[in-house]
Amino acid sequence: MQSVHLFPESLFYIMVMRFKMSVFKLGELFCGPGGLAWGATHADIGNKDFKIVHAWSNDYDFDTCRTYTRNICPDNAGSVICGDVRKLDLDSLPPIDALAFGFPCNDFSVVGEQKGFDGKFGPLYTYGVSVLKSHKPLWFLAENVGGLRSANEGNAFAKILDDMKAAGYRVYPNLYRFEKYGVPQARHRVIIIGIREDLPFEFKGPSSAPYANVNNTCRNAIENPPIPMDAPNNEITKQSAMVVERLRHIQPGQNAFNANLPPELQLNVKGAKISQIYKRLDPNKPAYTVTGSGGGGTHIYHWDEPRALTNRERARLQTFPDNYVFEGSKESVRKQIGMAVPCQGAKIIFEAILKTFAGIEYKSMESSLKDEGDI
């Protein structure tokens, strides 16, 4: 399928534009531990002239910034700005060609109260929009949870898209189900690509068809190849005797509420019963969504051994390479991994962006979301 559509422009103009738009300096807000950055800097379209390089990034969490620095830009620690985005002098940030911002999802996630713009974190996307207005990058990638579509009765998503368009960008939103792209995890994310409206390029989301035969079961991800004995962040969480016994009664794919548990191991929970409480993986399917949670039975649990996954196993489900070292305590690392974008999923989307600018055709799909915010 044709994936790149150019507006009527002279061939000379297009060639000049492509020449100038081959190496993209990427800035990031809410950068997390580096899932998006890894995907961007490892994007490869078979043309070495087209690539994405790190310029600067920002996150508020100290351990997260240390992780990002160690793995993405170890020789340029000063380019990682650790602090509250609300206190940044956005205008003074170095020039960039592209922007990525996975704005906080707390107030948009269906797991929470979905306060949307009424919550503490909902309005933080506006700082990304401010960078679009001040730095005018050629393109951007914005990421959030699937629940973004329904927050504030759908009005939040429409408002966000309108603000991005008002900043001077054509927007291409899509809901990506990463398990369809070979990621060993059911992780659904709204990703919005924006291209500056004066540029002669149209983006289409990459098709999942090339990944239809990928073995993305959680068993394959965790066991093949075996995790090295000396792999970082691979400490096993100690489980209480009661938790171990409870897990022995829970079959793969079951949780604490649909398993046949004896009375003494049942949970005395009133109201909503969350399906992921003490849920064991089904080894023959992708994992359920990796989150930053851990207490109260919210770890992800091994299908065979009566234990929670290690952070390295969780990182594999997020497609981080084994040499990707996370900084901080075990609990801090768990949160970082849970908040990240899967590296390989990000790589696929960034490669589609590079191909768009390079004029290379690729298998694409129609957007599952309309840019008017119609969900």
Look at the block and give the residue holding tokens 């049942």.
266
CA 333 to chain centroid, in Å, comes to 16
Q: Please name which of 115, 97, 123 lies closest in space to residue 30, comparing C-alpha atoms.
A: 123
Measured from the Cβ of residue 210, the count of other Cβ atoms closer than 10 Å reads: 13
Question: Is 218 one of the annotated active-site residues of the chain?
Answer: no
Q: Please name which of 225, 220, 219 lies closest in space to residue 253, comparing C-alpha atoms.
A: 219
Instruction: Report the relative pairing of strands 80-82 and 98-101 from DSSP bridges.
Output: unpaired
Where b means 16+ CB within 10 Å and e means fewer, 280-313 reads bbbbebbbbbbbbbbeebbbbbbbeebbbbbbbb
Instruction: Report the relative pairing of strands 364-365 and 205-206 from DSSP bridges.
Output: antiparallel
Rg of the Cα trace of the chain?
Answer: 21
Catalytic entry in 65, 105, 218, 343: 105
User: Alpha-carbon distance 367 to 373, whole Å?
Assistant: 12
Tokens of 220: 């394959």
**Do 250 and 278 meet the contact criterion of CB atoms below 8 Å apart?**
yes
User: Alpha-carbon distance 94 to 79, whole Å?
Assistant: 9
Query: Residues with catalytic annotation?
Result: 105
